[in-house]
Structure 1
Amino acid sequence: MALKLRLGDYIHLKKRHPCGEFRWKVTRLGDHVGLECFGCGRLTMFYRAQLESKVKEIRSARATGDIRN
């Protein structure tokens, strides 16, 4: 199943980041998806196909009211 992501969306990954956070903000879209850790601000890139198996939940930026990019 293809992920339907938009810039600014928040995703909840299955595994915890070393800083202890599960939530990430989508900062770049394309073949690679850029993510920013909600806890420590670390930036990382995933292949879209890799990310599909790691995502637990997607929250739209429009639903949360945060549409800053």
Structure 2
Amino acid sequence: MMTYKLKDLITTKKPHVCGSNTWEVVRIGADIKIKCTGCAREVMIPKYELDKKIKK
């Protein structure tokens, strides 16, 4: 499992609908809230699911 900190930038394998694949960590807990750097959309996703989708 990866460890996440606030303000970390995450690159996903697949791009978001807006075309950006870079996300910023906004909130940490049981679920992690990430914000798209392209369109500012916020998504809450479980840690184990995010670990599968992350590139770096």
TM-score grouping bracket, smaller chain normalisation: over 0.9
Deviation of residue 3 (structure 1)?
1.1
Q: Does 1:48 align with 2:43?
A: no
Matched residue type, 2:46: Y
Please give the per-residue CA displacement for 1:7-65, whole angstroms capped at 9, x wherever unaligned.
000000001100000000000101100000000000001000100000001xxxxxxxx
Hey, what does 1:67 align to over in structure 2?
none
* Separation of aligned partners in 1, 2:4 and 2:23: 12
- TM-score between both structures, scaled by the size of structure 2: 0.97
Aligned to 2:10: 11
Distance 1:31 1:54 in 2: 17
> Which residues of structure 2 form unaligned runs of 5+?
none
Please report the RMSD computed on the Cα atoms of aligned residues, expressed in angstroms.
0.5
Q: Which runs of 5+ in 1 are unaligned?
A: 58-69
Percent identity for Structure 1 against Structure 2: 36
Moved over 3 A (4+): none
